Amino acid sequence: MQVIQQVLFAAALIVSAVIITRRVKYIAQAINLGRPEDRSDNPGERFKIMLLVAFGQKKMFTNLTVALMHLVIYVGFVIINVEIVEIILDGLLGTHRLFAPYIAPVYPYLINFFEILAFGVLAVCVVFLSRRYITRVNRLQAATNEELRPRWPLLDATLILVFEIVLMIAFLSWNASDSVLRDRGVGHYGELKGVVPDFLISQYLKPLFTGLSDGALVGVERATWWFHILGILFFAGYVTYSKHLHIGLAFPNVYFSDLVPKGEMKNMPSITREVQLALGIEPTGGEPVAADGTQANENGAQPSDIGRFGAKDVPDLSWVDIMGALSCTQCGRCTAACPANITGKKLSPRKIMMDTRWRAEEITTNRQKHGNDYDDGKSLLGDYTTVEEINACTTCQACVNACPVNINPLNIILQMRRFKVMEDAQAPASWNAMFSNVENNMAPWKFSPSDRFNWAEQVNEK
């Protein structure tokens, strides 16, 4: 029987590894849809920002209570899963609490620490569920957020929270039933009697199992052990499909995020270069660039072949933009901070990121099925995101500042707006008037540069 369990456990590990490996390759292919962009500068500063923002969750602490709860659920779940090293070895070798005899003095303290974190994760998940369905935080409700109305994002979040609660209950129940078996001296469980004491939290669950027979108790212990480890393996695979992909991608996304001041917008080097050539000026920067300002791709785009201005579809964006879309946890903090959205405009930065992710996954799936040259006739701008949405953006950077993992929805919005203006020659009439004024008067207003400071004279008169 033990050999059969070991074989089944090894099979479960292999299946999980295959699924996760395939998903990692899929995610990498989706990110690589984007244009190349060099983010290798200032590694020390990038690493520091990653530690503060991704691991330390610095930007979450604008709301201390929510930040502490999120820290408990994130750090707690990660640390608890350190124990799966022992569980995996037990499953493969047919042992039971392999490390206990070798680190007997500290083993109880480790498990007690894991149990405290497990209880914390369980409690916080209950609170987060209540925020969704009892106190009903507005940014988490489909009734007021169009992008959540397909219901999958809401269901996804609920499944994750419920699943974590069940996993923590299984972990504590396993420890409790194991303790009862140890007290009774049943089989190999009894070998650790006197070596492993009762644990801090699970000891209070022991009365639930004391009335069971030895056989039934062994069944409960084995069932909770199997459920806990298989649940973790399932969770690891499911996360790669879920919005909780940010658990892994938040770290590289923060590392490769912009280091420039948040108010700075990137010019399009291709446009600058063409203007300099037209004026007979030696172009600054000799490297070939693509239309969106990224470096030339492996196909060798040259300055004279600048391609598409701005972005119509996901492949026109940078790989950094696509990674940001895949890292988005759909928390809605960006949309809640967006002044355009607050005043009733259709723009939702969260929807922009969700649209980008769904479109990137659609293109990746199509290429895997039909080849890289397949064209489904759809695009990010038009089929997912509307012109009304992107034109509502005030470029205030509120969404960028609000994102807890340094995602930049504004860059995607700007790239799509540049496409509409420069490729489709479609801009609101007020914008065209402003463009004309900037070109002729070097200011958005319709008066000559010599009159620009006339207002100051009036101020001095007062």
State how far the alpha carbon of 273 is from the alpha carbons of 126, 161, 244, 295, 440, in Å. Answer: 56, 51, 41, 13, 21
Burial of 403-416, coded b for 16+ CB within 10 Å and e otherwise, reads bbbbbbbbbbbbbb
Taking 60 as the threshold, does the pLDDT of residue 154 lie above it?
yes
Model pLDDT for residues 240-271, shown as the tens digit of each residue: 999 889 888 999 999 999 888 777 777 777 77
Which of 300, 312, 171 lies closest to 235, judged by CA? 171
Q: What is the dihedral of CA 442, 445, 450, 455, to 10 degrees?
A: -140
- What is the tens place of the pLDDT at every residue in 356-393? 999 999 999 999 999 988 989 999 999 999 999 999 99
Dump pLDDT digits (tens) for 393-411. Answer: 999 999 999 999 999 999 9
Predicted structure pTM score? 0.84
Q: How far apart are CA 231 and CA 227, in angstroms?
A: 6
pLDDT band per the 50, 70, 90 thresholds, residue 301: very low
User: 269-427 belongs to which CATH class?
Assistant: mainly alpha
Q: Residues 214-225: pLDDT tens digits?
A: 999 999 999 999
Q: Is there a contact between 407 and 324 (Cβ–Cβ < 8 Å)?
A: yes
On the CB side of 107, how many CA atoms lie within 13 Å of its CA? Answer: 16
Which is more confident, 123 or 433? 123
